[in-house]
Structure 1
Amino acid sequence: MGKHVNLVKLCVGAEKVEDLTAWQNMRMGQTGLPHPRHITRMWPKREAELIAGGSLYWVFKGLILARQRILRLEEVIGQDGIRRCALVLDHQVVLTENQPRRAFQGWRYLSAEDAPRDLKSDGTSDKDTLPAELASALAEIGIR
């Protein structure tokens, strides 16, 4: 796969990954759309790099914990007439190593080199990771 870039976004209103998947499933049921989408105000300037293998990395309570592959970007015009960007996402939510993130607004680019690694199907990684609660507590006090 070619060079790609990712996005990182706070998962507002969700405390854990299961909250995100439940919300996405509920929204797909309401809208009838075949894939989960996240609507954002700004259109990413690096669109080609995003759809070349990029993912949306989700931050829960100060930690990146999961990602979803970005399939494509679609234009959405709101009821207010404003053009927005729908990030069309893969159904599969992949758990990742914990990576602390400070709060921010909107989304940020995340290079492939700086992205946390995926966890194995058994929830482990190739290196030792801290439990999410401990990693979050350390991140809050600026240690990790």
Structure 2
Amino acid sequence: MSLVFAGICSHAPGITGRASMADPALREPFYAAYRRLGERLIAARPDALVVVAAEHFANFFMNNMPSFAIGMADRYSGPIEDPGWLGIPRTSVPGNAALSQQLIGEIMQTVDVAFAEEWKFDHGIMVPLSFLTPAYDLPVVPV
């Protein structure tokens, strides 16, 4: 599997949860940029998305906070936050357990990485996915 696309974007919960409060002159160009990023992503035809995101104490806590963790599930759910607050309906997102296991095997050679068979997605992953893959049909490997 080859790298076919790389991108970076904001994941602030207000992007979806408080969008109506934003000045349309600022909001619309921001949303247009997100749409263009999504179009470029889809045009690259990826087999899976490796999403590097902050983990906002949704799955890991101070008594068990790995430096790095990789999800290795076949399916994930999100958002873990109240869907009404975030403005994103709760949904199921496909994973790619085989790719996750391959990445974990390679990375463990040099980095102390944890892995998780269960991972609930918070706004850090769900906000970008809601714009970039609104059908939630591309498998995701969370990091």
Compute the TM-score of the two structures, normalised by the length of structure 1. 0.27
| Larger relative helix fraction | 2
Compute the TM-score of the two structures, normalised by the length of structure 2. 0.28
Higher RCO (C-alpha 8 Å, min separation 6): 2
| Larger relative strand fraction | 1
